[in-house]
Amino acid sequence: MDQGNTAFVLISAALVLLMTPGLAFFYGGLVKAKSVVSMMMLSFGSLGLIAVLWVLYGYAIAFANEGPSTFLGIDGWFGIDTSFLGLEAQVADAADPAGAFPTMAFVAFQAAFAIITVALISGAIADRAKFGAWMVFAGIWATLVYFPVANWVFNFTLEDGKVVDGGWIVYDLGVIDFAGGTAVHINAGAAGLALAIVLGKRFGFSKGITQPHNVPLTLLGVALLWFGWFGFNAGSELAADGIASIAFINTLAAPAAAMLGWIIIEKIKHGKATSIGAGSGAIAGLVAITPACAVLDPIWGMALGLVAGALCALAIDLKFSLGFDDSLDVVGIHLVGGIVGTLWVGLFGNGVGAFFGYGFDQLGAQALGAVAVLVYSFVISLVVGLIIEKTMGFRVKAEDEIAGIDTVVHGEEAYAFGSDKG
Amino acid sequence: MEHQNTTFFLMICTAMVLFMTPGLAFFYGGLVRASSVVSMMMMSIGSLALITVLWVVFGYAISFGNAGSGSYLGIDGVFGIDLDKLLLQTELIGAKNGDGFPLSFAAFQGTFAIITVALISGAIADRAKFGAWLLFAAIWVTLVYAPIAGWVFNFTLEDGKIVDGGWLVYNVGLIDFAGGTVVEVASGASALALALVVGKRFGFTKGMYAPHNVPLVLIGTGILWFGWFGFNSGSELAADGVASIAFINTIAAPVGALLSWALFEKIRNGKPTSIGAASGVIAGLVAITPSCAALTPFWALVLGGVVGIACAAAIELKYVFGFDDSLDVVGIHGVAGIIGTLFIGLAGTDVGAFFGYGLDQLGKQAIGVLVIGGYAFIMSWLIGSLIQKTIGFRVTSTDEIAGVDLVQHGELAYDSSDPRWSWKG
Q: Would you call B248 and A111 a contact, using CB atoms and an 8 Å cutoff?
A: yes
Q: Tell me the nearest-neighbour CA distance from B296 into chain A, angstroms.
A: 7
CA distances from A51 to A107, A119, A279, B259, B393 (A): 11, 12, 28, 11, 43
Instruction: Say whether pLDDT at A422 is over 50.
Output: no
Q: Is residue B132 packed enough to be buried (19+ CB in 10 Å), middle (13-18) or exposed (0-12)?
A: buried
For chain A, say whether B12 makes contact (Cβ under 8 Å).
yes
DSSP string covering A100-116, please?
SS-HHHHHHHHHHHHHH
8-state DSSP, A415? B
Q: How many helices (H) and strands (E) does chain B have?
A: 17, 4
Give the amino acid at A201. K
Q: What is the pLDDT of residues A399-420, one digit of tens each?
A: 999 999 999 999 999 998 764 4
- Reported as type and span, the H/E element at residue A243 is helix A242-270
Q: What is the pLDDT of residues A224-265, one digit of tens each?
A: 999 999 999 999 999 999 999 999 999 999 999 999 999 999
Q: Tell me the nearest-neighbour CA distance from A228 into chain B, angstroms.
A: 10
Nearest to residue A291, comparing CAs of A377, A192, A169, A195?
Answer: A169
Tell me the pTM. Answer: 0.96
Q: Would you call A25 and B218 a contact, using CB atoms and an 8 Å cutoff?
A: yes
Q: Tell me the nearest-neighbour CA distance from A413 into chain B, angstroms.
A: 8
Q: Would you call B425 and A32 a contact, using CB atoms and an 8 Å cutoff?
A: yes
Instruction: Say whether pLDDT at A181 is over 50.
Output: yes
Q: Would you call A414 and B214 a contact, using CB atoms and an 8 Å cutoff?
A: yes
Q: Would you call B240 and A3 a contact, using CB atoms and an 8 Å cutoff?
A: yes
Q: What is the pLDDT of residues B228-279, one digit of tens each?
A: 999 999 999 999 999 999 999 999 999 999 999 999 999 999 999 999 999 9
Q: Of A33, A107, A111, which is closest to B423 when you measure between CB atoms?
A: A33
Task: Tell me what pLDDT residue B115 has.
Answer: 98
Mutate to test the interface with B, among A47, A127, A213 (most CBs of B within 10 A): A47
Nearest to residue B298, comparing CAs of A350, A128, A53?
Answer: A53
Task: Tell me what pLDDT residue B1 has.
Answer: 45
**Which phi and psi angles does B350 have, rounded to 5°?**
70, 5
**Chain A partners within 8 Å of B209 (Cβ):** 416, 420
CA distances from B211 to A412, B29, B41 (A): 9, 9, 14
3-state DSSP call for residue B391?
coil
Rounded Cα distance, B285 and A381, in Å: 33
B positions 144-173 inside 8 Å of A (CB): none
From the CB of residue A326, how many other CB atoms can be counted at a distance below 10 Å? 25
Q: What is the pLDDT of residues A262-279, one digit of tens each?
A: 999 999 999 999 999 999
Nearest to residue B402, comparing CAs of B36, B132, B41?
Answer: B36
Rounded Cα distance, B188 and B377, in Å: 9
Mutate to test the interface with B, among A10, A37, A59 (most CBs of B within 10 A): A10
Q: Would you call A417 and B212 a contact, using CB atoms and an 8 Å cutoff?
A: yes
Q: Tell me the nearest-neighbour CA distance from A348 into chain B, angstroms.
A: 35
**Chain B partners within 8 Å of A217 (Cβ):** 215
Rounded Cα distance, A283 and A308, in Å: 10
Query: Under 8 Å CB-to-CB from A1, ≥6 apart: which residues?
Result: A97, A99, A100, A101, A102, B240, B241
Rounded Cα distance, A47 and A52, in Å: 9
Instruction: Say whether pLDDT at B419 is over 70.
Output: no
Q: What is the dihedral of CA B194, B198, B202, B203, to 10 degrees?
A: 40
DSSP string covering B298-361, please?
HHHHHHHHHHHHHHHHHTTHHHHHT---TT-IIIIIIHHHHHHHHHHHHH-TTT-GGGT--SHH
Instruction: Say whether pLDDT at B20 is over 70.
Output: yes
**Which phi and psi angles does B75 have, rounded to 5°?**
-100, 120
Contact of A97 with B241, CB cutoff 8 Å? yes
Q: What is the pLDDT of residues B290-317, one digit of tens each?
A: 999 999 999 999 999 999 999 999 999 9
Q: Would you call A47 and B258 a contact, using CB atoms and an 8 Å cutoff?
A: yes
* Mean pLDDT of all residues in A27-53: 97
Q: How many helices (H) and strands (E) does chain A have?
A: 17, 4
Rounded to a whole number, what is the distance in angstroms from the first to the last CA of chain B? 58
Instruction: Say whether pLDDT at A102 is over 90.
Output: yes
Rounded Cα distance, A243 and A254, in Å: 16
Task: Tell me what pLDDT residue A418 has.
Answer: 60
B280: nearest CA in chain A? A48
| Predicted ipTM of the assembly | 0.95
Query: Under 8 Å CB-to-CB from B321, ≥6 apart: which residues?
Result: none
**Chain A partners within 8 Å of B9 (Cβ):** 3, 6-7, 10-11
Task: Tell me what pLDDT residue B125 has.
Answer: 96
Q: What is the pLDDT of residues B139-167, one digit of tens each?
A: 999 999 999 999 999 999 998 899 999 99
* Mean pLDDT of all residues in A156-176: 93
Q: Would you call A52 and B214 a contact, using CB atoms and an 8 Å cutoff?
A: no
B30: nearest CA in chain A? A415
Contact of A123 with B265, CB cutoff 8 Å? no
Rounded Cα distance, B314 and B307, in Å: 10
Rounded Cα distance, A315 and A284, in Å: 11
Task: Tell me what pLDDT residue A207 has.
Answer: 80
Q: Which long-range contacts (CB under 8 A, 24 or more apart) does A261-270 make?
A: A261/A285, A261/A305, A261/A306, A261/A307, A261/A308, A261/A309, A261/A310, A261/A313, A262/A309, A262/A310, A262/A312, A262/A313, A264/A310, A265/A309, A265/A310, A265/A313, A265/A314, A266/A313
Q: Would you call A213 and B245 a contact, using CB atoms and an 8 Å cutoff?
A: no
Q: Is residue B383 packed enough to be buried (19+ CB in 10 Å), middle (13-18) or exposed (0-12)?
A: buried
At residue A132's C-alpha, the angle toward residues A129 and A134, to 5°, is 50
Nearest to residue A289, comparing CAs of A207, A365, A352, A349?
Answer: A349
Q: Would you call A104 and B244 a contact, using CB atoms and an 8 Å cutoff?
A: yes
3-state DSSP call for residue A159?
strand
Query: Under 8 Å CB-to-CB from B126, ≥6 apart: which residues?
Result: B32, B33, B36, B39, B40, B201, B209, B326, B400, B404
Give the amino acid at A234. A
Residues counted in chain B: 425
> pLDDT band for position B196 (50/70/90)?
very high
Task: Tell me what pLDDT residue B417 has.
Answer: 60
Q: Which residues of A181-218 are buried (b: 16+ CB within 10 A; e: fewer)?
A: bbbbbbbbbbbbbbbbbbbebbeebeeeebebbbeebb
For chain A, say whether B201 makes contact (Cβ under 8 Å).
no
B positions 211-240 inside 8 Å of A (CB): 211-215, 218-219, 221-223, 225-226, 229-230, 233, 238-240
Instruction: Say whether pLDDT at A194 is over 80.
Output: yes
**Which stretches within A73-130 are classed as H helix?**
88-95, 103-121
Rounded Cα distance, B299 and B302, in Å: 5
Q: Tell me the nearest-neighbour CA distance from A352 into chain B, angstroms.
A: 35
For chain A, say whether B423 makes contact (Cβ under 8 Å).
yes
Mutate to test the interface with A, among B6, B31, B213, B214 (most CBs of A within 10 A): B214
Instruction: Say whether pLDDT at A313 is over 50.
Output: yes
Rounded Cα distance, A232 and A223, in Å: 14
Q: Tell me the nearest-neighbour CA distance from A403 into chain B, angstroms.
A: 10
